[in-house]
Structure 1
Amino acid sequence: MIRFEHVTKSYPDGTTAVDDLTFEVAEGELVTLVGPSGCGKTTTMKMVNRLIEPTSGRILLDGEDISGLDPVQLRRRIGYVIQQVGLFPHKTVLDNTATVPHLLGRPRREARARAAELLDLVGLDPSAYGDRYPEQLSGGQRQRVGVARALAADPPVLLMDEPFGAVDPVVREHLQNEFLRLQSTLRKTVLFVTHDIEEAVRLGDRIAVYGAGRIEQFDTPATVLGAPATPYTAEFVGADRGLKRLSVTPVEPGDLEQPPVVRLDDPADRAAGRLSADGASWAVVLDADGALHGWVPAAALTGAPAAPADGTGPGLRKRAPQGATVRDHARRMDARLPLGAPLRQALSTMLQHDAGWVAVQDGDHFLGVLTPARLHTALRRATTADAANVARDEVSLDTVPGPGVPAPGPAG
């Protein structure tokens, strides 16, 4: 969709902002341009809509050399979102959003209807926010309007220059989540400029890491983090790039442990016998439909001594009553996440619930559990796979044997 061919931008004072740049952005792909201030990433983006003209080389948009296009007409085909948003202060939110469709000749009613649809799409109820003015919105809300306005003409390409840089970290993360949701539906071709490597990793299908006026590495977030191509890239992404990889490494079926499984309505003594035969201290509990309910400790099923609350003394023996079922002893487990969720979410869920494992599901179907040891192995395997340019399931690791799956609960 967007192709740079040996593009250079130099200024009369001898400064070269971009030097011999060649790369391509596929249709529907989100590419983040990341690097320090003054490295040429914003210049690169502005050359796409001819706010800056290249000194040499060609830029192609959908196979067409943009140097032969009328700049105004070109810009109407490209959505543009900047950090300062640039909303018209004298126009309502609805009229701000309808600006581009109206400029393209759509009737006012049609343009406003389209604007209302887009406001709703970015999470702003047009009946509540449409008649407000920009000064009556928070910074995050203004950024949402800016995104809606950029989408109003349904452009195939979006250029975004630090669009979420002027809001606080909590709002910024929320906006990133919303934009990822939008992109998964709309599949626009996006160039996204940022100086924040974590934002670049989180949002980009691929990342272009800029040095001084040139791209040091152009690859997927996982590869940039796992196998930096140059010392500059390794230094820029940081010594903690292994932790950053948690955001781009998904939970896969091969990462999961398979603990014993019992059903809510199983007799307690039968379930206890199964756990005893397996040498297990606990089991996952599913309901009659196979959906995850929680877990049950073997001690609760067998009437073994219960650990005292203060950690002292032998504890009291609590025997399961005759005819009891697993339901009578099962405990809820809210530490769960979907298959394909990033390892970062898995770790966060473990910490949030102070749990020794998280349950992984495909819809409502229970697949297994992810433990801290398995999470670490998954991260190592992904890093090794990217460095060797092989599939993750083709990697085997030498690991130090560790303890089995820990039980969930306050003690982890």
Structure 2
Amino acid sequence: MIRFENVTKRYPDGTTAVDDLSFEVAEGELVTLVGPSGCGKTTTMKMVNRLIEPTSGQIFLDGEDIASVDPVELRRRIGYVIQQVGLFPHKTVLDNTGTVPHLLGWSKAKRRERAAELLDLVGLDPAVFGDRYPDQLSGGQRQRVGVARALAADPPVLLMDEPFGAVDPVVREHLQTEFLKLQSSLHKTVLFVTHDIEEAVRLGDRIAVYGEGRVEQFDPPTKVLGAPATPYVADFVGADRGLKRLSVTPIETADLEAPPVVHLDDRLSEATARMRAEGAHWAVVLDDADDLHGWVSAEPADPADAEADATVTVRDRARRMEAWLPLGAPLKQAFSTMLQHDAGWIAVVDAASEGRFLGVLTPTRLHEALRRSIDADERDVPRADVSLETVPEK
């Protein structure tokens, strides 16, 4: 969708902002450009919509050389989101969102309908926020309006320059999560500039790590973290890159353990006898549809009562499960959930079937999953093909 061929930007004073840049962004791909201030990443982005003209080389958009396209027409085909948002202070949120459709000559009714649809898409109720002005919004809300405005004319390409950099860390993480959900349904081709390697890792399908005016590595996040191409990249991503990999390493079925499983209507005495026979201190509790309900201890609250009364069932003693995640969730979220609930394991369910239990993830298995991910990238093989050498338990 976007292709750079030997692109250089050199200013009259001799400063080279970008030097012989060549890479391609596939249709529907989100590529993050990351690097220190002054490395050329924003210049790269601004050359795509011709806010900056390259000194040499060519940039293609969907196979068309952008140098042959009128700049104004080009910009109306590309969504653009910046850190300062740039909303018009004298216009309502609804009118701000419909700016580009207005420039394209859409009718008032059509552009307001489109604006309302997009505000709802980014989590802002148009009935509540549509008639407000930018100064009546929080920073995070203004960023959402900026994203909605960029999407208003349904452009195939989005350029995003530090879009979440001006909000606090909590809001920033929330905006990142919401944007990933949005991108999963819209599949826009996105160039996303950031100076934050964690943001680049979390959002990007691939990452372009910039040195001074050139790309040092252009790879998926796991490869950048697991196999830095140069000492510069290794230094930039940091010595804790193994921890950063937790954000981009998903929970897979092979990472899970299969604990004892009981059902809500099982007799408690039989369930506890089964757990003890297997040497287990607890079991996962499922309902009749094999969906996750909770867990039960091998030691009932009142052992004498449980042994004496055959009517006591697992349902009477089961505890609801709070520490659970869907398959495919990142290991970082799994680790965070364990800490949040002070849990020695978390349950993993199949999100597609709305709760079907698949297994549990323990700290040991989480660590092994991370090691397999690193080894897989170093050897360029699927994660499932990696076997680990471990110290045998005594």
TM-score by length of 1: 0.92
The amino acid across from 2:256 in the alignment is L
* Displacement after TM superposition at 1:301 (Å): 8.2
Instruction: State the partner residue of 1:366.
Output: 357
Give the alignment partner of residue 321 of structure 1, picking from 308, 313, 316: 308
Following the alignment from structure 1 to structure 2, what is the Cα–Cα distance between the partners of residues 108 and 267? Answer: 66
Paired residue secondary structure (2:262): strand
Following the alignment from structure 2 to structure 1, what is the Cα–Cα distance between the partners of residues 170 and 316? Answer: 41
| 2:195 paired with 1:191 | no
Paired residue secondary structure (1:299): coil
Structure 2 vs 1, CA of residues 97 and 219 (structure 1 numbering), >3 Å: closer, same or farther? Answer: same
Cα distance per residue 1:12-42 (max 9 Å; x no partner): 1111100010000000000000000000000
Instruction: State the partner residue of 1:170.
Output: 170
The total of aligned residue pairs comes to: 390
| 2:313 paired with 1:345 | no
Unaligned segments of structure 1, at least 5 residues = 304-316, 404-412
Instruction: State the partner residue of 2:207.
Output: 207
Q: Is the 8 A contact 1:33 1:207 kept in 2?
A: yes
Matches within 5 A, 1:8-157: 8-157=8-157
Percent identical: 77
Cα distance per residue 1:332-364 (max 9 Å; x no partner): 221111000000111111111111000000031
Cα distance per residue 1:229-285 (max 9 Å; x no partner): 111111101111111111100000000010111111111222223223222222111
Paired residue secondary structure (2:357): strand
Which moves more between the two structures, 276-285 or 218-227? 276-285
Paired residue secondary structure (1:258): coil
Give the alignment partner of residue 332 of structure 1, picking from 313, 320, 325: 320
Following the alignment from structure 1 to structure 2, what is the Cα–Cα distance between the partners of residues 38 and 129? Answer: 37
Q: Is the 8 A contact 1:272 1:301 kept in 2?
A: no
Q: Is the 8 A contact 1:33 1:194 kept in 2?
A: yes
Paired residue secondary structure (2:308): coil
* Displacement after TM superposition at 1:197 (Å): 0.4
Instruction: State the partner residue of 1:407.
Output: none
Instruction: State the partner residue of 2:242.
Output: 242
Which moves more between the two structures, 277-286 or 205-214? 277-286
The amino acid across from 1:357 in the alignment is W
Instruction: State the partner residue of 2:370.
Output: 379
Following the alignment from structure 2 to structure 1, what is the Cα–Cα distance between the partners of residues 222 and 201? Answer: 8
Following the alignment from structure 1 to structure 2, what is the Cα–Cα distance between the partners of residues 273 and 139? Answer: 57
Moved over 3 A (4+): 317-321
Following the alignment from structure 2 to structure 1, what is the Cα–Cα distance between the partners of residues 324 and 90? Answer: 48
Paired residue secondary structure (2:300): helix
Following the alignment from structure 1 to structure 2, what is the Cα–Cα distance between the partners of residues 219 and 119? Answer: 33
Instruction: State the partner residue of 1:399.
Output: 390
The amino acid across from 2:268 in the alignment is A
Q: Is the 8 A contact 1:271 1:301 kept in 2?
A: no
Unaligned segments of structure 2, at least 5 residues = none
* Displacement after TM superposition at 1:294 (Å): 1.4
Instruction: State the partner residue of 1:309.
Output: none
Paired residue secondary structure (2:343): coil
Cα distance per residue 1:191-236 (max 9 Å; x no partner): 0000000110111110000000000110101111111111111110
Following the alignment from structure 2 to structure 1, what is the Cα–Cα distance between the partners of residues 228 and 308? Answer: 60
* Displacement after TM superposition at 1:319 (Å): 5.4
* Displacement after TM superposition at 1:105 (Å): 1.1
Instruction: State the partner residue of 2:275.
Output: 275
Query: What do you get for the CA RMSD once the two structures are aligned?
Result: 1.4
The amino acid across from 1:336 in the alignment is W
Following the alignment from structure 1 to structure 2, what is the Cα–Cα distance between the partners of residues 293 and 178? Answer: 28
The amino acid across from 1:358 in the alignment is I
Q: Is the 8 A contact 1:266 1:326 kept in 2?
A: yes
Following the alignment from structure 1 to structure 2, what is the Cα–Cα distance between the partners of residues 212 and 178? Answer: 32
